[in-house]
Chains A and B, each alone.
Chain A
Amino acid sequence: DSGVTQTPKHLITATGQRVTLRCSPRSGDLSVYWYQQSLDQGLQFLIQYYNGEERAKGNILERFSAQQFPDLHSELNLSSLELGDSALYFCASSSGLAGYNEQFFGPGTRLTVL
Chain B
Amino acid sequence: DQQVKQNSPSLSVQEGRISILNCDYTNSMFDYFLWYKKYPAEGPTFLISISSIKDKNEDGRFTVFLNKSAKHLSLHIVPSQPGDSAVYFCAASANQGGSEKLVFGKGTKLTVNP
Contacts and interface: CB of A to CB of B under 8 A. Distances in A.
Nearest to A48: B101
A100 B104 contact: no
A44 interface: yes
A43 B104 contact: yes
B25 interface: no
Interface residues of A, number: 27
Given A43-B89, A105-B43, A99 B104 contact: no
Contacts of A106: 43
Given A42-B106, A42-B107, A107-B42, A99 B89 contact: no
Interface in A16-59: 33, 35, 40-45, 48, 55-56, 58
Contacts of A111: none
Contact of B106 (A40, A48, A100): A40
Given A45-B103, A100-B49, A107 B93 contact: no
A99 B102 contact: yes
Contacts of B104: 35, 42-45
B93 A56 contact: no
A99 B41 contact: no
Contacts of B93: 98-100
B43 A45 contact: no
Contacts of B101: 45, 48, 56, 58, 99
Interface of A: 2, 4, 33, 35, 40-45, 48, 55-56, 58, 90, 92, 97-100, 102-108
